[in-house]
Structure 1
Amino acid sequence: MPSKKPETQQIDTQKSTMPDLALLSHDIQSAVSDVIGGVRLVDQDQLPDEAKLQLERVRTAAELLARLVENALTAPGEIGQDDLGLSNLNLPRYLENLASRWHGRAVEKGLAFSLDLPKDYPATIHINRVVLDRILTNFLSNAMKFCENGRISVKLRLDETENLIFSILDDGPGFDKAALFNLFKRAKRSDNLNQPGQGLGMFIAHDLTVQLGAEIRVKNRIEIDGSNGACVSLVLPLVVWSDPSLTNFATDFPDLSGLKILAAEDSPTLQLMVAQMLQKLGAEFEMAADGVETINWLQRESFDLVLLDIEMPNMSGIDVLKSVRKMPKPLADIPMIAMTAFVLNSHREAIYAAGADGIIAKPLTRIERFGAAILRVCQAQDLVISREVFEPDEPVISNDQLNSLLDLTDKDTRAELLRRIISDLRGVKARIAQDAKTLNYSAIRAQTHILIALAGAIGAKPLQLSSKKLNQLASKGEKDMVSQEAAYCLNLLNQVISIVEKTAKEHLDE
C-alpha cells in the first residue's frame, strides 16, 4: 500500500487535532468564565478606587482572552460575521472597555491615562473586533513599555474624508531613526533599547492593519505639538469601518445601534435571519447555538438584552430563563425576549412565568416588527440611551416653553415657582457633582431622574438629553463615560441656572 504524501499527512494531522483544540478551547473559556464571574461577584462599593481599577483590568483582559481563543478556532463565515469576521461594534462601549483595561495598568506604573473623544463620532462601526483589539493592544502595550512618567492618551477623531483615526499618544522618549526603520520588521529592535521584548508587537499590528485595508501612521510628538513622546495612529478609511449595505437602508426602522444583544438560536437558517436583521438594525450582537453556550456567553461578557429561542438542544430556553433569573444581580435582571412558534396561552404563560420580558412569534418575516418588539422591551426597561441630537445653535432653554409654564401662574406664585426651580436645580447640581466624584451610581440615577423631569418642564432639551444619557451610563456602571457625561451635564446645568436666575430677576423687577 503506498504511503501518504507529506501534504496529505499534514492535512490529516490538522483534522485530527481540531477536535482536541475545540475541547481545549471549551476548557479555557470555562476557566475564563470563572474568572469573570468571580470578579462580578465582588462587592466593588466596599473597595478603594485603585482596587476597582485593577478588577476592571482583569475583567476586560479576560473577555479579550476568551475572544482570542474563540477567534483562533472559528472558521471564517461563522453566523453573525462575514468572511472577514466583520460585525457591528458599539464604539462608545468598546472604548469604555479599552479604557477600563489600560487605566489600571497605567495607574500601576504611576502614569496618567485619558480617553479623548470628539463630541460626534459613529455609535456603531462595522469591523473585526478581535483584529481591532489586537492592533490597539499592541500600540498601547508599546506605549506603556517605554513611557516612564507622564501620560498615555487614546484619542479618537473623524477627519474631513471620514477616516476614523485611533491615536495613542505617550510622554515617552519617542522613536529614534533606527527604531523607526525597523518598527514593522519581525523581531527587529533598536540596539539601544533597554526594555524587554521580542520586537513582535508592532510587526503584528502592521500585519493586521494591512489585512484590514487600513494604515498605521507613526510620528514623534515633537513634529506635532513640540512635546516629547510618540504618536501612533490607526487610520480606518470609511470603506473599512462602515457597512455599505446600510447606506440606503430605511431610516424609519427601529434603531438598535446603542444595544449589545446576545441571540440564542439553534437553527443555522434562523441564526442567519436573526443575524441579518440585527446587523441591519445596527445592533452589536453575538450568536449562541444552544442554551449552554448562552449561559457561557452571559457569564463572561455583559449584554443589554437576550433574544432566546425556546426550543433548543442541551438546555432549553425555559431552562435558560430560570437559570439566569436565579443568578446574582445585575445579571439576573437582564431583559430577555423569547422567540417561539408556540404562542398558545398556555405556552405564553409558561414562558412569562420562567422570567421572559417579552415574546416574539416565529416565523420572523418582517424586520420592522422584529426591531419594534425589541425596542418596546428596551424602552420598558429604560434601556436605550436616547439618540436624539440637538443642533449646536439650539437654545439651552426654550423661552417659549418656559414662558408658557410661567403664564400658568399669577405674579406671586410665579416668583415662588422660579425660586423652587432654581433651588432644585442647584441642589441636583451639588449632588451630581459629589456623586460623580465618588461614582455613586444609584445616587446619580436618582438625581438624574429628578433632572430629566425638571429640564423637560422648563424646556431645557440639551440638559434633558444629557441627563437621560448620564442616567443610562450610571445604570451600566460605565465609569469613565459617567465622569465625562457628568462634566458635560454640570456645564449645561450652570447655563440653565444662570438663565432661570436672570428670568426670575426680570419677573421680580416687573
Structure 2
Amino acid sequence: MTELIVMTWRSLIRSLVPIALVAILALALVGTLFLAILSNIRQGNEYRDRLDQSLETRALTRQAYSALQDAMIGERGYLLTGDREFLEPYEDAVDRLPVLLDQLVALTAGTSRHQAALQLQELGRAHLEVLARIINTFEDVGPAAAIEIVAADDGKRTMDQIRDIADELIVAEDRDADTHSAAVRAQTERFERLAVALAIAMALLLFGAAVVAGRYVLRRRRAEQELTRGGERFEAASRAKTEFLASMSHEIRTPLNGILGYTDLLLDQSLSSEQRRLAERIQFAGAALLTVVDDILDFSKIEAGQIDLHPQPFSLETLVRNTVSVVTAVAERKGLALEIELDPDLPEAVVGDEARLRQILLNLLNNGVKFTQEGTVRLHVACDGSLNDCEGLRFSVSDTGIGIPEDQRKHLFHRFYQVNQSSTRKFGGTGLGLAISKRLVQIMGGEIGLESQEGKGSTFWFRVPLAHARLEDIPEEQGAPAGETSRKGRILLVEDLEHNRDLARAILTQAGHEVHTAENGAQAVEAVQARGYDLVLMDIQMPVMDGITATREIREMPSPASQVPIIAMTANVLPHQLKEFGEASMDGHVGKPFKRADLLSKIDVWLHRVQGEGRTTSTLPPLENATLDDLREMMGPEWVESGLRKLNQQIEGTFGDETDAQADRTELAGRAHQIVSHAGLLGFEDLSELCSRLEESCKSGADLAAPFEKARTEAQLVRQQAGRILG
C-alpha cells in the first residue's frame, strides 16, 4: 500500500512539472500587472484629491465673495430705509463669512493660493468691521453721521480688491481643475488597459489551475463518496452502539436483578456453612458482572456529559481505610503489603462526593494490586501544595509492579487501552477504569497523572479541591435495621416480569410497607385512579402500556393523584433514557439490579418528603433541589447562601464581558476551573461539566466560541435559579 502511494505521487509530480512552470510564469505576470494597477490607482487617487481640492477652493471663494456682497447690500438698504429687515442678510453674512474664510485658508495651506486666501480673509474681516461701525453709528448718532463714514470710507476700493483676489483664485482653480480632470481621465484609460491585461493573465492562470484540478476531480469525487458512505456507516455504528448498550443493559441487568436480589434474600435465611459459601460466591460473581456493566454504562454517561456529583460531608480517614479494606483480601492472597500514609495536617472531614472518590481510589488500588507481583502498594493522602489552607487534597497510589513504558503512558487514560496485548488476558479488566477516573477527577475540578519506571513500579496521583467540614456535620447512618425503614407507606409496584415483581414485593413487604402490584402501565393508571398511594415504583418496558406513557397519564390526573411520587425502577439507565424519564415528570430512578439498602433508602427519603413535609413542586431540577436541601440541612442555610453568592460572583467575573473574557485563555481557564468544582459542589452539574469543557478548550487552543456560549447560557440559568433561592 505504501509503495502504491509513493508511485502515485511520483507520477503526479512528473505530470505537474510543466503545468507548474506555466503557472509560475502566469503568477509572475499577474503580480507585475497587479503592482502596476496599484500604482495607477494611487496616482489616480492623488489627482482626484487635487481635483476635489480645486473645486472646493473655488466654491468657498465664491461663497465668501457672495456673503460680502450680501452684507454690503443689507447695510445700504438699512441706511436708506431704516428697515431692520435689510439687516437679515447682513447678519447671516456676519455668521457665515468668518467660517468660510477660515475653511478657505485651511484648504489652501501649503499651496501657492495660500497667500491670496490670507489676503482675502484679512480684507473680508476688515470690511465687516467697517460695515458694523456704520450700522452702530446710524443707530446711536443718526443717519447723517453714518453717511459721513460711508462717504469718507474707501469701502468701494476694498471691495474691488476683494473681487480681484476672488477672481484670481477662481481662475487659477478652474485652470487646475481642468488639468487634474485630464490627468484623471488618462489614469482611468491606463487602468482599463491594465485591467484587460490582468484579466487575460488571470484567465491563463485559471486555465492552468483548471487543468491541474481536472486531474483530481474524479479522485476527489470518489473520495467524497467514500467519505459519505463512511459517515453513514459511522452514524449507523453509533446508533447500533447506543441500541446495543440499551439492549445489553436491559437484558443483562434484568436477570442480574433476580440473581443478586434473591441471593440477598437467601443469605438472610438460616443456611449451612457450605450453602452460605456457595450463595456468597453467587453473590460475588453477580457483583463482578455488575461491575463490568456499570463500567461500560458509566463511560457512556461520561461521554454524554451526564455524570452527577452528590457532595456531602464525610470523614476522610474513614473513606481511606474502608476503601483500602476492600482490596486487602486480594493483596493478602498475593502476599502484598498494603500501606496507608495520611498527612497529619489533613482535615478530619471534607465536603465532596464520597462515592465517586471511593470509585477513583478503588480503580487505582485495584490496578496497583493487579499489576504488582511482589512488594508494596501504598496509598498516600496529603494537602495539595498548590492550594492554601489545605482546601485541596492530593491522593497517590504507588506500587512496585511492572511499571509502564514511556511511549505508552500518554495513551493510558484512553478508553479500552491496555499496556500490551496480553494485559487483558493476563490481568483482566475492561480498560475503562483509568478513563473513567480521569473524567471524574476533571468533573470534580481536579487533575490526574502518573509517574512510572518500567520494571520498578508506578505512582498514580490525582488532586481535587474539597471544602472543609466538621465531624458533627457528617449525616448519621440510618437507625433502622437492615430490611426495615423508618417510615412505612402504601406503595404501588408496577412490574411485568413475575420474578422481579416477587423479589421487589418480598423486599418491600419485609421492610414493613403495604405493597400493591400492577403488571403494566394501564393497570398502574387504573390503580392510581382507584386509590391513593404514597409512592409508585414504575418499570419502563412493559406490555400494553409502557412506564413513561403511564407516568404522563398519571400527571394529567386531577390532584392529589397527579402529585404521587413516581420512581422509575428499570434496567434502562443510559443517559438519554434517564433524560426521557425526567421529561416524563418522573421524580427519580432506581437502576436494576438494585441493592436492597439503596432501594429502601430512596423509598425512605421520598416517604419522608410525602408524609413529613408534603410533596412540593419546584422550578429547579430535582438534583439541584435535593443537593441544596441536603447541604442546607448538613451545613446550614448561611453556608448554602454564601456558596451561592460566591458562585454568582465567579459567574459574573467569568462571563460578564464576552470580549474581555476570551482575551486571555489562561485567565479564562483558571476562572472556569474555579466554577467546575464550586458548581459541582452545589449540585449544578450541567454548569460544572460545561465549564470543564471550556477549560479544556482554553488549554488545547481550540475555538472558544461554542463552549463559551454554552457555558455562559447555562451560567445565566444558574444565576436565575440562585437568585430565586436567595430571594
Same fold (TM over 0.5): no
In terms of fraction of residues, the more helix-rich structure is 2
What TM-score comes out, normalization by structure 1 length?
0.39
* Greater C-alpha radius of gyration: 2
What TM-score comes out, normalization by structure 2 length?
0.29
